[in-house]
A and B are shown apart, each in its own frame.
Chain A
Amino acid sequence: MNNTLWGMEITADQLLTGFGDTLYMVAFSLLFSVVIGLPLGILLVITRNGHILENKWVFNVLNPVINILRSIPFIILLVALIPFTRFVVGTAIGTNAAIVPLIFYAAPYIARLVENSLLEVDKGIIEAAEAMGATTWQIIFRFLIPEGLSSLVLTFTTATIGLVGASAMAGAVGAGGVGDLALSYGYQRFDTMTMIVTVFALVVIVQLLQSTGNIVSKKIRRR
Chain B
Amino acid sequence: MIEFQNVKKMYESKKQTVEALKGIDLVVEKGDIFGVVGYSGAGKSTLIRLVNLLERPSEGRILVNGKALTSLKPKDLRAEKKKIGMIFQHFNLLNSKTVFDNVAMPLILSGTPAKEIHTRVNELLEFVGLLGKAKNYPEQLSGGQKQRIGIARALATNPSILLCDEATSALDPQTTSAVLQLLKKVNREYNITILLITHEMSVIREICNKVAVMEGGRIVEQGSVFDVFAKPQTEIAQNFVRTVIHDEIPQSFKKQSEGNPIIWKINFIGANSSKPLLSTIAKKFDIDLNVLSANISEIQETPFGNLIMEVTGEESEIKKAYDYIQAENILVQEVSVHE
Contact = CB atoms under 8 A, between A and B. Distances in A.
A134 B106 CA distance: 8
Interface string A92-136: 000000000000000000000000000000101101101111110
Contacts of B109: 132-135, 138, 142
A146 B96 contact: yes
- Tell me what chain A mostly uses at the interface: helix, strand, loop, or mixed: helix
Contacts of A125: 92-94
Interface stretch (B80-88, B114-122, B320-328): B80-88
Interface in B82-115: 82, 84-86, 88, 90-97, 105-106, 108-109
A131 B54 contact: yes
Interface residues of A, number: 20
Contacts of A134: 78, 109
Contact of A223 (B77, B86, B96): B96
Contacts of B52: 131
Contact of A132 (B77, B91, B105): B105
Contacts of A146: 94, 96-97
Nearest to A125: B92
Contact of A128 (B77, B80, B88): B88
A125 B105 CA distance: 12
Contacts of B95: 147
Contacts of B96: 146-147, 149-150, 220, 223
B39 interface: no
Contacts, number: 59
A143 interface: yes
Contact of A133 (B77, B92, B93, B94): B77
Interface centre among A128, A143, A220 (most CB of B within 10 A): A128
Nearest to B137: A223
24 contacts: A122-B90, A122-B92, A124-B90, A127-B54, A127-B88, A127-B92, A128-B86, A128-B88, A130-B54, A131-B54, A131-B81, A131-B85, A131-B86, A132-B157, A133-B78, A133-B79, A133-B109, A134-B78, A135-B78, A135-B109, A138-B109, A142-B109, A147-B96, A149-B96
Interface of B: 52, 54, 77-82, 84-86, 88, 90-97, 105-106, 108-109, 137, 157, 163
8 closest A-B pairs by CB: A133-B81, A133-B78, A124-B92, A128-B92, A131-B86, A146-B96, A132-B106, A133-B82
